[in-house]
Amino acid sequence: MEEVRTPDSPQPIGPYSQAVKSRGFIFCAGQIPLDPKTGQIVEGGIEEQTRRVLLNIQNILRAGGTDLNKVVKATVFLTDLDDFQGFNRVYSEFFQPPYPARTTVQVARLPRGSKIEIEVIAEI
């Protein structure tokens, strides 16, 4: 197992890695919409938060030698499923067919009051 780390995405605040490489895949830790420069949640609604999360994931994947086109599975956590359409609009800007397999669930709460968290698995 090899750690993947980049200053272009938020740094871990606990005992975990931004991502790890193992057996031809990158497993990216769940990302919330933190601005990597300020460490603060981005302002705005679900679309702005989704965009920041996906940019953070994109930066981590690049640091690991891959990109969003190689994502095979995404897990999405939303605090309100009524945000699904806004999330989906932005998500479709970052992914093209064949789309990754995806699970989307509503959760009671996310760190720092975030509306969204996404984790992905990608091929290297």
Taking only the tens of pLDDT, the chain with its 124 residues reads 999 999 999 999 889 999 999 999 999 999 999 999 999 999 999 999 999 999 999 999 999 999 999 999 999 999 999 999 999 999 999 999 999 999 999 999 999 999 999 999 999 9
**pLDDT score recorded for residue 107:** 98
Task: Write down the H helix ranges in 1-124.
Answer: 46-63, 84-94
What predicted TM-score, i.e. pTM, was given to this entire model? 0.96
Q: Which element (helix H / strand E) includes 104? A: strand 101-106
Tokens of 13: 């605040």
Can you give the pLDDT at residue 16? 95
Closest to 69 measured CA to CA, from 90, 49, 97 = 97
| Token duo for residue 91 | 């998500």
Domain 2-123 superfamily per CATH: RutC-like (3.30.1330.40)
Residue 43: what pLDDT?
92
How far apart CA 89 and CA 49 sit, in angstroms, is: 12
Domain ranges within the chain, ordered by starting residue: 2-123
Q: What pLDDT score was predicted for residue 13?
A: 82
